Structure 1
Amino acid sequence: MASGFAAWLRSPAAREYFFSTHFWGPVANWGLPLAALSDLVNKDEEFISGTMTTALAAYSMVFMRFAWQVQPRNYLLFACHATNATAQTLNDIRFVRYWYMGGRDAKLKEQSKNGLTEAGAKIEEAGAQVKGKVVEAVEAARKSASK
């Protein structure tokens, strides 16, 4: 199998394929699914555009059908658009959950809870520092009064 593939790579048919739009179109198009996957992992739901994400998912679904119908079938283009449609749909689900199903409220509640916890910790730390300073001042006053 590997030797057959290696022989095909050296053939004129391989050169014809690798220098065609049937190959380079999908390769160039892989930027869309890679960006969608990056958004899926790194982007906060607050910054996802529901309109654009839905449009890109629909676009990829249309071109998945095109990649399947064109002769010869373009499996690379199909895989590219299947990946993009899946990632954009997942981003759309994240968007809907955040803005319409209480995700934003839960996140804000969690942030305020964390903020209060952090503020309480800072207040306790400041109180401990003040207490330490007061104790030092009282001890200094006792020493100066005993002299």
Structure 2
Amino acid sequence: MATTMRLGLRGARQPILRQNLRFTQRRTYATAETIAEPATESGFTKFYNSPVGPKTVHFWAPIMKWGVVLAGASDFLRPASQLSLSQNMALMATGSIWTRWCFVIKPRNLFLASVNFLLFCVGAAQTTRVLMYQQSLKGDSMGAEIEKSAKEGVNEIVDVIKHPGKVVESVEKTK
């Protein structure tokens, strides 16, 4: 068989298949009606038909994710002793990772980016609350902790100034 019919994408280029499968191009001409049509669309119609409108998952995923943000925000009413550090750090990490991802994907979904950014903010605020609570259990306030670390730093600097030979010996030992 000298004339074999090819299937697949190369077969669509053959004139016989193009006619049978209706791959012919339709030519459209701009008229005054088609040019004026997009200008008469209302804002809601543009939003409804947009690539991130309510007809797509790009709209409904952020709507559902608001539940996670609101659940995290409702924890502001709970005492810090009842909050989970790992859970709130996970919220913070998830929010930051997916906020970045929302600017990479096409179509760029700013609505989803805003939800993820607020998820990061809620997670960061709750994580800060838990860490401050844990710090208060140790008996030191934040100011006292800063003073303590500053004094340790000053003591290390004074030791280096008084005994520079010890620093050189410790560096040579690590090599």
> Counterparts of 1:36 and 1:102 in 2: how far apart (Å)?
23
The answer to whether the Cα contact below 8 Å between 1:98 and 1:104 also exists between their aligned partners in 2 is: no
1:39 corresponds to:
75
> Counterparts of 1:86 and 1:52 in 2: how far apart (Å)?
14
In structure 2, what residue type is equivalent to 1:71? K
The answer to whether the Cα contact below 8 Å between 2:52 and 2:107 also exists between their aligned partners in 1 is: no
> Counterparts of 2:63 and 2:138 in 1: how far apart (Å)?
37
Identity, % of aligned positions: 21
Aligned residue for 1:22, secondary structure, equals helix
Measure how far apart 1:10 and its partner are: 2.8
**After the TM superposition, which residues 1-147 of structure 1 pair with which residues of structure 2 at under 5 Å, given as runs?**
7-11=42-46, 13-14=49-50, 17-40=53-76, 42-99=77-134, 101-102=135-136
Aligned residue for 2:106, secondary structure, equals coil
**1:51-105 CA distance string (max 9 Å, x none):** 1110111011110011111112111110101101001100000000101x11586
Q: In 2 relative to 1, CA 16–61 (structure 1 residues): closer, same or farther, beyond 3 Å? A: closer
Q: When the two structures are superposed, what TM-score results if normalisation uses the length of structure 1? A: 0.61
The answer to whether the Cα contact below 8 Å between 2:52 and 2:109 also exists between their aligned partners in 1 is: no
Q: In 2 relative to 1, CA 89–15 (structure 1 residues): closer, same or farther, beyond 3 Å? A: closer
**Long gaps (5+) in structure 2:** 1-38, 141-175
**Long gaps (5+) in structure 1:** 107-147
> Counterparts of 1:44 and 1:72 in 2: how far apart (Å)?
40
> Counterparts of 1:16 and 1:38 in 2: how far apart (Å)?
28
In structure 1, what residue type is equivalent to 2:61? G
Q: When the two structures are superposed, what TM-score results if normalisation uses the length of structure 2? A: 0.51
User: Structure with the greater relative contact order (CA < 8 A, sep ≥ 6): 1 or 2?
Assistant: 1
Answer 1 or 2: which has greater helix percent. Answer: 1
Measure how far apart 1:8 and its partner are: 2.9
Measure how far apart 1:37 and its partner are: 1.3
Number of equivalent positions: 100
